[in-house]
Amino acid sequence: MPAPAIRIEDHIRDIPDFPKPGILFKDITPLLGNPTAFAAAITQLAEAFQNRGINLIAAAEARGFIFGAPLAMQMNLGFVPIRKPGKLPYATIAVEYALEYGQDRLEAHTDAFGPGNRVLLVDDVLATGGTMRACQELVESTGAEVVASAFVIELGFLGGRARLAPSEVFSLVTY
C-alpha cells in the first residue's frame, strides 16, 4: 500500500496569543521535528520552482534560513543569507523597513546578488509581507531579478500577497 500523502498543515501548531494577545502564532517546530514532513515541504517547494532559471535562493534570518538552506541544497543552487544589522562580516548593502512600532533594517553582502542573477526568496510565514517586501527591494536594488517569493504558510487574511505584487507569490498552506 502506498504511504499516505503528507499534509503539511497537519504538522503546524496554532499557539493563541503569542507573542502577544490577539496573534495566532503558526508554530513550525512540529514540522521541523518530523523528517518526513520537513522533507516533503522542501520537496514541494523545489518542485514548484523547477526549470525557472533560478540560480540563487535567498532568505532572511532566522526562520527563513531553516527552509532556504535545505531548499538551495535540494535544487543545487547557492544560498544567500539576508541578515539583521551588524552580522555580516564583508561590505554590505541595506534596506530599511517599517515595523508596527519603529524601523528595522536588513543587510546582504555587496557581492551576493547583482545583474544576471535570478533569485527565489523564501520564508516560513507570509503575514503582512513587510519583511519579504524589504528583501525584494534589497535584491532588486542590485539589479538582480526576484523570480518569486515562496512560503510554507500564508496568512491570506493579512493581505501580504498584495503587498508583494506584481511579484509572484507561492505558498504550501494558506489560512
> What is the binding site for ligand AMP (CB under 6 A)?
23-26, 63, 123-131, 155, 160
Least distance to ligand AMP, CB of residue 144, Å: 21
Active site residue 63: yes
Least distance to ligand AMP, CB of residue 53, Å: 26
Tell me whether residue 25 or residue 170 sits nearer to ligand AMP (CB atom): 25
What lies within 8 Å, CB to CB, of 22 at 6+ separation is: none
Name the pairing type of β-strands 13-16 and 24-27: antiparallel
Tell me whether residue 55 or residue 163 sits nearer to ligand AMP (CB atom): 163
CA distance 51 to 158: 31
By CB neighbour count within 10 A (0-12 exposed, 13-18 middle, 19+ buried), where does 98 fall? exposed
Tell me whether residue 55 or residue 140 sits nearer to ligand AMP (CB atom): 140
Least distance to ligand AMP, CB of residue 55, Å: 23
Q: Write down the H helix ranges in 49-93.
A: 63-75
Catalytic residues: 63, 100
